[in-house]
Amino acid sequence: MRKSTLDKKYIITLLIENAVTVFLVGFVIFMVFTKRSFSTWDNIVNIINESSIYGIAACAMTVVVISGEFDLSSSSIFGWSTVIFVICINAMGIVPAFFITLVCGAAFGALNGLLIAKVKMPAFVATLGTMIAIKGLAYVMTKAQPINTNNATLKAIGSFNMGGISIIPIVYLGVLVLFIWFMRYTKFGRDIYATGGNYEVARLSGINVVFSKFIVFTMLGAAAALAGMMYGVRIKAGWAPYGQDLALYCITATIIGGTSLLGGTGSVGKTVIGVLVLAVLFNALTLLGVSGSMQKFIRGLVLITVIMLDAVVAKRQKE
């Protein structure tokens, strides 16, 4: 007779753990039946193209979360990258622009890494500070105005099209495979898991914990820059406020995927689902005619809900 309560507890835990997948499936079914335009090939391609930009940064954000940290400044690095990318394209062409932007992003990430891993500042304070500083810098560079480019190569890249799929999902796929491989099959990836799982244990195992924390922020800086450039490829412009919501979006996608904010568990592969869930959700809201401001509200609600679920699941697993 005690068994029934046990089963109930077990099923509830299972449901909460897979709440996201359950929700996604249910929601997709709902949309397919209520909105014809949802399940058209055009719209599906649109979802894929749209989600790929932030998806690139989300991969790296997952690695940061696995290491037990998070990064708010990636939004600003993204915005900054659109700016510097376009400026450099106009000044010296696309290839130097690509590398300069990437190095800039990595450098900003490295600065975060230094502050957090070496100086031991809390991630919240450090990345809030760099978020504001980098954004300010991007505004200064452009006098707060958007800048455009007419670069022919950029246009050519931007118009690449394979059955509706642009270049961006292909880059996303490459980044995804790289990060999954890095975390699963390299020593560095393993060290990051250990560092996030228990910093002191990792340190006392002779792991270079400072480097582990440093490198994850550097990688995220580079990934945010790459994402910013992809945005540049799409809209052929740069502006400081672009990508404002990137950091929270990536953190939300990471948690939805099942990587815990506590660190040490989860995987980059899972975040793909998180990115997809958010993309489908916001695409559907747009199709349903929900206003932009309302979507912002919902975005906040989703973030709070998933963080709460994360805490609930963690608690249940402990018991």
Partner 1 sequence: MSAYVLEMKGITKTFPGVVALDDVTLSVEKGTVHALIGENGAGKSTLMKILNGVYTATKGELFLEGQPLHLQGVRDAQEKGISTIFQEFNLINALSVAENIFLGRFEGKGQIKWNRINRKARELLEKLGFNFDVSKPVGKLSTAEKQLVEIAKALSYDAKIIVMDEPTSSLTKKEIELFFPIIEKLRKGGITVIYISHKLDEIFHICDRVSIMRDGKLVGESLVSEITRERIIELMVGRSMEMEYPARTASPGEPVLEVKNLTREPLLHDISFTLHKGEILGIAGLVGAGRTELAETIFGAAVADSGSIEINGKAVSIRSTMDGKANSIGMVTEDRKETGLVLDMSVTRNITVTKLDEVTTGIVLSKQKEGEVASEYVQKLNIKTPSINQTLYNLSGGNQQKVVLSKWLFSNVEILILDEPTRGIDVGAKYEIYCLMNELTEQGKSIIMISSELPEVLSMSDRILVMHKGMIKGELTGAKMTADNVMQLAID
Which residue ranges make up the site for partner 1 (CB under 8 A)? 2-3, 5-6, 184-187, 190-191, 193-194, 197-198, 200-208, 264-265, 319
Q: Are 39 and 32 in contact (CB under 8 A)?
A: yes
Closer residue to partner 1 in complex, CB, 5/37? 5
Give the shortest CB-98-to-partner 1 separation in angstroms: 26
Spatial CB neighbours of 179, under 8 Å, sequence gap ≥ 6: 59, 60, 62, 63, 268
* C-alpha to C-alpha distances, 261 to 85, 252, 294, nearest whole angstrom: 32, 10, 27
User: Which of 14, 12, 9, 10 minimizes the C-alpha distance to 258?
Assistant: 14
Closer residue to partner 1 in complex, CB, 75/254? 254
Count of CB atoms within 10 A of residue 73's CB? 29
Give the shortest CB-265-to-partner 1 separation in angstroms: 5
Give the shortest CB-118-to-partner 1 separation in angstroms: 13
Which pair of tokens denotes residue 217?
């922020």
User: Which of 265, 267, 251 minimizes the C-alpha distance to 302?
Assistant: 251
Closer residue to partner 1 in complex, CB, 36/184? 184
Closer residue to partner 1 in complex, CB, 207/233? 207
Closer residue to partner 1 in complex, CB, 199/231? 199
Which pair of tokens denotes residue 89?
């394209």
Give the shortest CB-12-to-partner 1 separation in angstroms: 14
- What angle, rounded to 10 degrees, do the helices at 41-66 and 209-235 form? 160
Give the shortest CB-290-to-partner 1 separation in angstroms: 39
* C-alpha to C-alpha distances, 94 to 56, 81, 108, 158, 195, nearest whole angstrom: 20, 13, 21, 12, 38
Rg of the chain taking only CA atoms, in angstroms: 20
Spatial distance between the Cα atoms of 47 and 41, rounded to a whole number of angstroms: 10
Closer residue to partner 1 in complex, CB, 9/36? 9
Q: Is 243 left (phi over 0), alpha (psi -120 to 50) or beta?
A: left
Give the shortest CB-310-to-partner 1 separation in angstroms: 14
Give the shortest CB-176-to-partner 1 separation in angstroms: 18
Closer residue to partner 1 in complex, CB, 65/194? 194
Give the shortest CB-189-to-partner 1 separation in angstroms: 8
